[in-house]
Amino acid sequence: MSYTMFSAFEFKRKDTYIHKLDPRTKMFMTIVFMTVALLFTTIIPLLITFIITLIPILLAKSVEEWLNSLKGTTILLVFILVINSFIRDLNFALAMILRLIVLITAFSVFFLTTHPDDLAQALIQMKVPFDFAFALSMATRYVPTLAREAQTIMDAQMSRGLELQKGGLTQKIRNLIPLIIPLIVNSVRRALSIAESLESRAFGAIKKRTYLYQLKLKKNDFIFIIFLTLYLLLMIYIKIYSPLASWMEWKFPL
Amino acid sequence: MIEVINVWFTYPNGTIALRGISLRIRDGESIAIMGENGAGKTTLVKHFNGLLKPEKGLVLVDGINTKETSVAKLARKVGLVFQNPDHQLFSTTVEDEIKFALKNLGFPSEEIKERVDWVLKFLDLERYRERSPLSLSGGERKRVALASVLCVKPKILILDEPTIGQDAKQKRKLGELLKKYQEEKNTVIVVTHDVEFASKYFNRIVVMARGKIIADGPPNKVLTNPTILEESSLSPPQVTVLSHEIAKKINNFPKDIVLFDELLNEIIARLRR
């Protein structure tokens, strides 16, 4: 269960148009999709946004991985649906779910198609200090390791008779303690040993680093950025001057 | 008794870990499962307590299909100690750590106390009763992890790589303890790369390679066979190497020796002749 959820955000090497884009272009894309999703609160515009967000997923041939990421968030989606239906109404709740799906999609397309090292390099070229960029790329690199470890811990504790599904809500939360504590302890131990092995390889010995690879924006990146900018401007225009046709405001009759 | 009938297993990432495994483990046996890294040893033992369910085939524990029961139910019968103790230690004291499985399995509190006392004594851990398991050394943590499973007194005890990180003395102690436990009519199964440990304390060696069982028999038949050892990336016990070398020089000298005492007796017998 836990593993499939994480695998949704794990980089997979593929040879597609999206994979070959510069990480900065993809970063921009994620920001644009996020912004647009946050502009609207009604179903139809968000549905359109959603369909547009699907284009890079299709181009990146990552539909399966993306579906896995959604599967992992089902509980959260249901939770949002129920809460919002109570507080506001079903239309608003559905819109909020669409918005969340767009956000997840925007992030998952970024992480699915961007190698952690490229992400770090992009940040460095955007003048983020090397230490931070490195820490971030390390963190992404350890997500699958942590997921595997969580699975092993779960197996080990189940072998000692732990039943995760047993009991009421408080009991279920207490059932997690035997999983979380070993996970934290091991992570701290691992962090310390990583720090030691970094230092033993002279991490930070030279203030000014040079890099083997430099990222460069290519023709495809510029085309993509132009499309994204136009899309963003159009959406802002629609939002501000609100020339929303009446069908755009369509709601479920309740 | 564990019956494994033509079991196949594939991991979600597509690795085929088991390719048609059949195995029968009778009560009271002591078995070492050996083989190169990635041969499927750990995958196989995870089938014994139902953590993994066969994709094809059947695993029966005392006649119960593992597909039709839960890991928690099987935990009373089958105890599995994982390779890395850090994957299971979480309590504030060694005593609580041991109580965890007993409480999960619903033992009455008096029996819990008895069993904790018994296992601490059995594994020579009494002086650590109030210590935090996380503050102990690697070898001690491994013994606490063993204690936390052994306290259930499972009829079938499985240990994954129990000798890693243990010095010679602890290894000997562990071997003797496992033998003692097995002699009380329990089944003991280990996964190990340690040929000396396996040949000394176990009666049956099961060798795996690429998801299949390639040999199954007593140590002096399996661990002295160069073809099997080669295929499973194992090195023979030192005693076997020595007896093979002697056999090159002396006619009729037996090659199927795995234990030091056997070799010694053989040499003395020949000297006296």
Dihedral sign computed on CA atoms, order B74, B77, B82, B86 = positive
Q: Which residues of A touch B88 (CB under 8 A)?
A: 153, 156-157, 160, 178, 182
Q: How far is B89 from chain A (nearest CA, A)?
A: 6
Domain extent listing, chain B: 2-220
Examine the pLDDT at A74 and tell me if it is beyond 70. Answer: yes
Question: Complex ipTM, two decimals?
Answer: 0.90
Yes or no, beta carbons of B79 and A159 under 8 Å apart: yes
Over the stretch B71-127, which tens digit does the pLDDT of each residue have? 999 999 999 999 999 999 999 999 999 999 999 999 999 999 999 999 999 998 999
| A199 Cα to chain B: minimum distance (Å) | 24
> Average of pLDDT values for A28-40?
93
Rg (CA), chain A: 22
* The pLDDT of residue A1 is above 50: no
Residues across chain A: 254
pLDDT of A58 > 60? The answer is: yes
Q: What is the pTM of this model?
A: 0.79
The residues, any chain, with a CB within 8 Å of residue B272's CB and separated by 6 or more, are none
The identity of residue B31, as a single letter, is: I
Task: Please tell me the distance from the alpha carbon of residue B244 to that of residue B259, in angstroms, as a whole number.
Answer: 13
Q: How far is CA B221 from CA B23, B108, B248, B256, in A?
A: 18, 46, 19, 6
- The distance of A181 to chain B (nearest Cα, Å) reads 6
Establish if A119 belongs to a structural domain: no
Query: Do A172 and A188 lie in a common domain?
Result: yes
Average pLDDT over residues A119-130: 89
Radius of gyration over alpha carbons of chain B, in Å?
20
User: Cβ(B93)–Cβ(A193) under 8 Å?
Assistant: no
> B90: which 2 tokens?
């979480």
CB atoms within 10 A of CB A32: 20
A134 and A252 assigned to the same domain = no
Distance CA B151, CA B98 (A): 7
Same-domain status, A162 and A93: no
Whether residues A104 and A4 fall in one domain = yes
CA distance B158 to B29: 12
Closest chain A residue to B83, measured at CA: A156
Domain region containing A26:
1-114+217-254
* Domain shared by A31 and A104, yes or no: yes
Could you tell me how many residues make up chain B?
Answer: 273
Residue A236 CB partners (closer than 8 Å, separation 6+): A39
The CATH code that applies to domain B2-220 is: 3.40.50.300
Helices (H), A61-160: 63-72, 74-87, 90-113, 116-125, 130-158
Residue A4 in any domain: the answer is: yes
HSE, side-chain direction, 13 A CA sphere, residue A1? 6
Q: Quick check: A6 and A83 in contact, CB under 8 A?
A: no
The string over A40-59, giving b where at least 16 C-beta atoms fall within 10 Å of a residue's C-beta and e elsewhere, is bebbbbbbebbeebbebbee
> For residue A151, what is the nearest residue in chain B, using CA coordinates?
B87
d(CA B164, CA B229): 20
DSSP H or E run through B157: strand B156-160
Residues A106 and A87 in one domain: yes
Residue A250: pLDDT over 80: no
